[in-house]
Amino acid sequence: MVRVIGVGPAGRVRALYYGAKFISQSAQNLLLAALFISAGTDGTGAIGLSGLMLATLLPGLLLGLSGGAFVDRIGLGRGYALGAALRLLPVAAGILVLQDAASAWMIAFAYSAASQVFTPAEVGLVGVIERDQPGRAHSILVALQYGGQVLGMLVLGPALYFWGGAFVMMAVSAALFGVVAVLATLVMEQLADAPRAAAARCHSFRETCRLFRDQAAPRYALLTLAIKAIVVRGTIVALPLYLSHDLGLGREGFIFLLAPGIVGAIAGLAWGAMERNAESALPGMRRAVAGMIVAVFALAVLDYGLRAVVELSGVNAVTGVDVTLETTFAVALPAAFLLGFSLSLAVIASRVALTASAPVGQQARVFAVQDTLTESLLVLPLLLTGFGAEWAGARPTMAAIAILATLGVFLVEKPRIARREGIEWAKP
C-alpha cells in the first residue's frame, strides 16, 4: 500500500511545501532582478536583455520533457529536493561570477535547466499532498507566487540593490534558495513512500500524449494556459502604448488599471479554490477563456462602440460633456477587473484539470508536456505581438490577440459543437 502523506501529520507537509513555495518565488524574482540589472547595464542594452530571455526559454524547450520523465522515475519528493539543490548551485556560483551580460546568460541558462527538474516536481506534488482539494492547493500556490513576486521584485530587489548592488542581491537570493533546499529535503523525507513510475515506462510519453488526445479537460487546459500566456505577454507589450496613446496617461497610469486587476485576481483565486476535479474544472476553464477574450477585446474596441452610441444619441450635445476619455475609462476599469479574474481562474482551473487527470506516476510528465507545448506554441505569436504593437499600435494588437484566442477556442470546441448540434463539417 502507498502511504501518501508519509510520516508525520499532513499539516506539517503542507506547511513545509507552501513555505518553500513562497521563499523560492521570492528568491527567484530577486535573482531575475539581479540578472536583468547586470544584462541591461552591460552596454549591450536590448541585446543583453533579449539574450537573457532566450537563455531562460531554451532549457524548457530542450530539457522540459526529459526533466519530467526523470522526476517521475525517481519520485516527486526526490525530484523536488534534487531540483531545489540544483537550482541553488548556479545562484551560489553567481555570487562570484556575475559581472556582465554573458555571465548573466550562463547563470540564467543553468538555473532554468535545473528548474526543469524542480518545477514539474513542485506542481506535481499537489496530486500527492492535496489530492482531494487540488483547487484549494493551486489557489494557495498562485497566491504565494504573487506574494513572492511582489516581495522579491518590488521590496527586496530595490532595497538590496541600493544597499550593495547585484552582488548583495545574488547573495541574499542564494541564502533563500538554501532555505528552500532544506525545506524541500524535509518534504522529501515525509513523502518517502509516494508513488513513482516504473523504470520500464518512465521515459514513455505515449500514455501522456494519449491523455491529452482523448480527454477533454487536459486538452482544454493546454488551450487555456496557451491563451493565458499570450494574453499576459501580449498585454505587457501593448500596455505602455495603450496607457500613453489611448488613455493619455504616463507610466504612473499603470496603477489606474492595476487596482481593479488585483481585485479581479483575488476574486479569481477565491473562485478557483472551489474546483475539485476535472469535470468541475472544465467549465471553469471555459469561463476563464471567455473572460480573457472579452476583456482584451473590450480594451481594444468596445469604447469606440459606446462612444458612437452616445454621439449618435446626442447625449454629449445636450450635456456638453466630451465622452471620448470617459467612455475609455468606463471600459478599461471593468475590463481590467475581468482580465485579472480570468487570468487567475485560468491558471487554477487548468492545473486542477491536469492534476486530477494525470495517472499516478505521470504527474511530472503531464505538467512537463503541457509546459513544453505551451512554450513552443508561443514563440511565433509573441514575436508577432511585439512587431504588431510597434507597427500597428496597442488596440489592433489586442484585437488580434482576442481573434487568435477565439480561433483557438473554435478549433478545440468544434467537435463538441458538432455533436451537440448534429453538424457535419465539410471535409476538404
Domain-embedded: residue 3 = no
pLDDT in tens, 265-280: 999 999 999 888 888 8
pLDDT surpasses 70 at 47: no
d(Cα 82, Cα 418) in Å, to the nearest integer? 47
Q: Which of 141, 126, 119, 145 is nearest to 63 (CA)?
A: 119
Give the pLDDT band (50/70/90) at residue 358.
confident
CATH number at residue 134: 1.20.1250.20
Helix (H) / strand (E) element for 112: namely: helix 101-124
Both 406 and 378 in one domain: the answer is yes
Mean pLDDT of 387-393: 61
> What is the biggest distance separating any 2 CA atoms in the chain, rounded to whole angstroms?
78
Helix (H) / strand (E) element for 60: namely: helix 46-74
d(Cα 227, Cα 401) in Å, to the nearest integer? 9
Q: Among the three residues 190, 222, 248, which one is the final residue of a domain in this structure?
A: 190
Domain-embedded: residue 287 = yes
pLDDT surpasses 50 at 6: no
d(Cα 235, Cα 394) in Å, to the nearest integer? 9
| Angle, in degrees to the nearest 10, between helices 206-214 and 216-241 | 80
Q: How many residues does the chain have?
A: 428
Q: Residue 73 sits in which domain range?
A: 10-190
Range of lowest pLDDT (55-69, 86-100, 166-180, 319-333): 319-333
Domain-embedded: residue 428 = no
pLDDT in tens, 84-101: 999 999 999 999 998 888
Helix (H) / strand (E) element for 313: namely: helix 303-313
pLDDT in tens, 54-81: 788 889 889 999 999 999 889 899 999 9
Both 157 and 213 in one domain: the answer is no
Domain-embedded: residue 195 = no
